[in-house]
């Protein structure tokens, strides 16, 4: 009987590179020092500063312009113009973000946005209102949402997966704070240029600078660094575009944690839409100056500043809460806090109460958004992530605009509507229950 050959000794395996899930979690300072993330952050900051300035300048031109009159329906129409467009272009943007080089998309989209902002500024200077102004604002808002979706879909390419929550906290929260700073700059520029059509146009035109800076920052990124790495779309672009929103919805429904986060976010946006319109009407028509608390556009600026502080607080608290409680409990706690705040505001309907609510709702809403972003970026495939964020933004803005429209029809002219604020609290509670039910059903 032949002797079997000796079994070769097993080769010593080479040390493997840790998978993203096995890499150590980076701290905030380390994340910001990461080259690709720092450049992506520069694009976001410039784009969101420009966006905040543009929205505040246009809002001032419509609502707080002595040369124009605005009621609740006019305010609602203006907000809808700023937010609804992406719900229309979302399916197209999502498919393209999963098909085209995202770095090139960020570069070209910001250049297009700069041209469109200049056109809107010219429209305001000419004293035009209605359809011409709204069409220009629609175009700017659509491109702006396209840029933000591209930034969110690109984030997992520049940080380890284990650090997605922390990176998202830095990007989303700091970006929102920069947008609020842009809004504050618009208020300051109106004081310099004037509150009429000419001053509003000059203030709006300054937003062009932010778009150009964002394009320049995008140009510094290496080609292909932001993905997509692969695509599962049809070969024909038009077919892929047509299926973009449907694909995003299906991918969302297929991941229970993402679907639950979307439910919570939709509840927040519905309730926050009610609060936003009533706050604008109250500071415009109901409140008066009282010490440090101001009425009019200055009071809106104070509310925005406190909301920005709430965003910053969320940036500090969210990673700690997620590690301690988990993402699901953190979302539920934020929704409960927001609900109690809405009910309290309905009882204490005053300028100080509105300012406190701006801080708390900014905090709670940002916690929900950070958790939703982390769910998409950490648990959705790169080949569908752009379409999910497109669907995300469509839900985000449609809920907000629907709430604003209903509030405009139901609210008295001065915005004193405690029953509507209480309804917002009820929406937060419904979102909490639905979020919990979706996760339990998945388990």
pLDDT tens string 295-313: 887 888 889 889 889 988 9
Whole-angstrom distance, CA of residue 420 vs CA of residue 271: 9
200 within 8 A of 64, measured Cβ to Cβ: no
The pLDDT value recorded for residue 17 is 35
Winning range, highest mean pLDDT, from 2-16, 122-136, 230-244: 122-136
171 within 8 A of 40, measured Cβ to Cβ: yes
296 within 8 A of 413, measured Cβ to Cβ: no
Q: Is residue 315 classed as helix, strand or coil in its secondary structure?
A: helix
Phi first, then psi: what are they for 29, rounded to 5°? -65, -40
Instruction: Compute the average pLDDT of residues 181-191.
Output: 89
159 within 8 A of 360, measured Cβ to Cβ: no
CA-CA-CA-CA torsion sign (42, 43, 46, 47): negative
Whole-angstrom distance, CA of residue 317 vs CA of residue 33: 21
313-368 residue pLDDT tens: 988 898 899 989 999 999 999 999 999 999 999 999 999 999 999 999 999 999 99
402-433 residue pLDDT tens: 898 899 889 888 889 999 999 999 999 999 99
Q: Which residue in 40, 33, 170 sits closest to 105, CA to CA?
A: 40
Whole-angstrom distance, CA of residue 49 vs CA of residue 186: 10
240: Cβ–Cβ under 8 A, 6 or more apart, which residues?
Answer: 95, 98, 99, 233, 234
The larger pLDDT score, comparing residue 45 to residue 311, is at: 45
Instruction: Compute the average pLDDT of residues 208-224.
Output: 93
Angstrom CA distances, 370 to 99, 159, 233, 257, 314, stand at 25, 16, 28, 13, 9
250-303 residue pLDDT tens: 888 888 888 898 899 999 999 999 998 899 889 888 888 888 888 887 888 889
């Amino acid at each position: 009987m032949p002797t079997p050959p000796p079994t070769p000794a097993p080769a010593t395996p080479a040390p493997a590179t840790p998978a993203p899930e096995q890499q150590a979690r980076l701290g905030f300072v380390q994340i910001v020092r990461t080259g690709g993330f720092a450049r992506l952050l520069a694009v976001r900051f410039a784009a969101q500063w420009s966006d905040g300035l543009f929205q505040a300048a246009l809002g001032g031109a419509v609502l707080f312009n002595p040369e124009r009159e605005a009621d609740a329906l006019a305010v609602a129409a203006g907000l809808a113009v700023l937010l609804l467009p992406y719900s229309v272009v979302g399916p197209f943007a999502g498919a393209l973000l999963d098909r085209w080089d995202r770095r090139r998309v960020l570069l070209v989209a910001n250049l297009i946005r700069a041209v469109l902002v200049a056109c809107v500024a010219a429209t305001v200077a000419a004293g035009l209102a209605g359809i011409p102004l709204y069409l220009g604002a629609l175009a700017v808002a659509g491109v702006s949402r396209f840029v933000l979706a591209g930034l969110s879909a690109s984030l997992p390419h520049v940080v380890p997966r284990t650090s997605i929550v922390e990176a998202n906290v830095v990007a989303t929260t700091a970006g929102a704070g920069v947008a609020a700073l842009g809004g504050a700059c618009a208020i300051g520029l109106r004081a310099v240029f004037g509150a009429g059509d000419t001053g509003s146009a000059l203030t709006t035109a300054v937003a062009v600078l932010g778009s150009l800076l964002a394009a320049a920052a995008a140009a510094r990124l290496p080609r292909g660094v932001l993905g997509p790495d692969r695509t599962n779309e049809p070969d024909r672009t038009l077919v892929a575009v047509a299926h973009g929103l449907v694909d995003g919805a299906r991918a969302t429904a297929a991941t229970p944690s993402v679907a639950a986060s979307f439910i919570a976010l939709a509840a927040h946006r519905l309730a926050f839409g009610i609060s936003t319109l009533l706050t604008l009407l109250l500071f415009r028509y109901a409140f008066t100056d009282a010490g440090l608390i101001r009425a009019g556009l200055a009071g809106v600026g104070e509310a925005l500043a406190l909301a920005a502080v709430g965003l910053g607080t969320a940036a500090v608290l969210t990673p700690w809460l997620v590690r301690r409680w988990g993402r699901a409990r953190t979302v539920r706690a934020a929704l409960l806090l927001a609900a109690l705040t809405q009910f309290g505001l309905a009882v204490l309907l005053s300028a100080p109460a509105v300012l406190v609510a701006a801080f708390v709702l900014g905090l709670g809403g940002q916690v929900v958004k950070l958790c939703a972003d982390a769910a998409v970026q950490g648990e959705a495939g790169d080949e569908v992530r752009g379409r999910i964020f497109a669907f995300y933004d469509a839900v985000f803005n449609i809920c907000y605009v629907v709430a604003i429209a209903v509030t405009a029809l139901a609210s008295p002219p001065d915005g004193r509507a405690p029953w509507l604020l209480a309804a917002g609290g009820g929406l937060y509670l419904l979102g909490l229950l639905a979020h919990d039910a979706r996760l339990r059903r998945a388990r």
